[in-house]
Amino acid sequence: MPAPSKRDKQSARTHELNKPVRTRLRNISKNFYKAIESGDTERATQLRDDAQKAYDKAASKGIIHPNKASRKTSRLDKALAGTGSEA
């Protein structure tokens, strides 16, 4: 078996650096939807703001595609607007 190429090593390192960012994005989104389900709109609003900042930052760093960040934040806004409380 040949030794890993430089590109393979770079890809593995990048994957390890990006994994916690993607995990954080998923956790923020999950917590947001849990807050929506429980009716805690104040917490949901705070989590929406945190998620929007995190998604935009990840998109600017190339961790996720910018269109994905826009789509996710749009869905968060739509879910919060559906609760009848907009901050």
Residue with tokens 């989104």: 29
- The answer as to whether 5 is a domain residue is no
**Count of structural domains, the chain:** 1
Residue with tokens 């009716």: 39
Contact between 51 and 29 under an 8 Å Cβ cutoff? The reply is yes
Nearest to 56 by CA among 21, 20, 80: 21
Domain CATH code at residue 50: 1.20.58.110
pLDDT in tens, 6-25: 999 999 999 999 999 999 99
Give the domain range for residue 35: 20-81
pLDDT in tens, 21-70: 999 999 999 999 999 999 999 999 999 999 999 999 999 999 999 999 99
- The answer as to whether 15 is a domain residue is no
Q: Between the CA of residue 84 and those of 34, 44, 76, 81, what are the distances in Å?
A: 16, 12, 14, 6
What is the pTM (predicted TM-score) of this model? 0.86
